[in-house]
Amino acid sequence: MCRWINKILSIILLTMSIVSFMGCSENNDDTIKITDMSGTVVEIPRSPKKIAAVSPSTGDLMIAFGLGELLDGTYFSTLDNPWATEIYPEAKDFYGYDYDNSVETFIMRGVDLIFIPEPATAQMLREHGLNALCVRQFAEDGYDDYVFYFSEMIRQIWGSDKAVSEKIDMWQSDFTTALNTVKQTLDAHPEIQTQTLYYINGEKDRGLGYTDLGKSLLETVYKALKIDFICNRFESNRPSVEAVLEINPDIISIGGIYQKKRLNELYSTEPWNQIKAVQENKVYNVPVGFVGFEQTCSASALFIYSQANQIYPDLFDFDLVTLTQECLQKYFDYTLTDDAAQNLLDGYFKDGSLMME
């Protein structure tokens, strides 16, 4: 119990430290200074009105926090996901941005703030007179201290709206509760042996050797689940099958809209199907909502619950159908039937069809 209380206190202190680190200073009534995820202090307009959410999942969280009407567009692959426009129909009108869009594209679209993952690109855009903040899904020194970073950035920019700030508090509480609930149970079972895990990123159609290098939400959550995330050992996010086989992971997880295609390939392709996880049928899916649950998004808490259920079925039996319905209702005002929720959790579209062929 003491360990659990200490964890809660540490997260509270962490959130306070993020706010302190990001602390904005006002130049005047029209601008605000924000420290982005590269550590750069950037002066931007106060309460900007048209946003290019190029960084993956930033659009998801803006919608979840009640700011969806400000979005001009989001990362293009998000819009390939049929759940995105089903959950948030307004996304049909979003522009699909890529990391290498030209300065002219942003100027032509008239955006007044850009969230983009590469610090160099953000700097280049600023040099051309555009307001750009670096927001990433990973951090070089580990992601544990950055889970709430973007949400606190949102609070700094739009937090004068009480409803926005309340949604941020709600989301942070959801994540903290999920993480602590799972950790408390696992800490009560010291006999649990650490297992190795390889993650297949099925967001794009890039095969079985496409992964995440860690220092991300994936590694943060799997570490809490007492899982050794082996992808942080690879030199690139395109490891060879030989490199994966050398470690021979106990578990494989598959996310993204192409996850069923990847699953079929995994079981039918040699030597991938010789991996221990495949031989022992310990291959688990990561559900997809507006974006994949494994991203820093509205469903991050559900990612914890879903992986806990699959990896430790003797210890956890969270009601994921109800939790998913509550999440989508709370953050997207979207009602999901029991059958559709189960299909989502199983990696399908609402009617049981494939998200992508």
Q: Rounded to an integer, what distance in angstroms lies between the CA atom of residue 196 and that of residue 233?
A: 12
Instruction: Please determine, for residue 26, whether its predicted confidence score (pLDDT) is greater than 90.
Output: no
In the chain, the percentage of residues whose pLDDT exceeds 90 is: 89
CATH 3.40.50.1980 residue window(s) in the chain: 2-159, 168-345
E strand spans, the chain: 31-35, 41-45, 51-53, 71-75, 95-97, 113-116, 132-134, 195-201, 227-229, 251-255, 283-285
pLDDT at residue 357 tops 90: no
Q: What is the pTM of this model?
A: 0.92
Structure-block tokens of residue 271: 């030597």
Q: Mean pLDDT across the stretch 22-51?
A: 84
Q: Residue 20's pLDDT is what?
A: 42
CATH class for the region spanning 168-345 = alpha beta
Position 16 scores a pLDDT of 44
Q: How far is CA 253 from CA 192, 279, 287, in A?
A: 19, 14, 10
pLDDT of residue 36: 97
The yes-or-no verdict on residue 10 having pLDDT over 90 is: no
Taking residues 46-64, what's their average pLDDT? 96
* 98-156 per-position pLDDT tens digit: 999 999 999 999 999 999 999 999 999 999 999 999 999 999 888 999 999 999 999 99
What pLDDT is recorded for position 63? 98
* Mean pLDDT for the chain overall: 93
Confidence of residue 19 (pLDDT cuts 50, 70, 90): very low
| Predicted local distance difference test score (pLDDT) of residue 1 | 43
With bands split at pLDDT 50, 70 and 90, how would you rate the model's confidence at 29? confident
CATH numeric code, 2-159: 3.40.50.1980
pLDDT tens sequence across 277-332:
999 999 999 999 999 999 999 999 999 999 999 999 999 999 999 999 999 999 99
Instruction: Give whole-number Cα distances, 136 to 56, 142, 144, 338, in Å.
Output: 8, 12, 13, 34
Highest mean pLDDT, choosing among 17-31, 134-148, 249-263: 249-263
> Which residues lie closer than 8 Å to 299 by C-beta, 6 or more apart?
287, 289, 290, 291, 293, 324, 327
| pLDDT in the model for residue 14 | 43
| Model confidence pLDDT, tens digit, residues 218-235 | 999 999 999 999 999 999
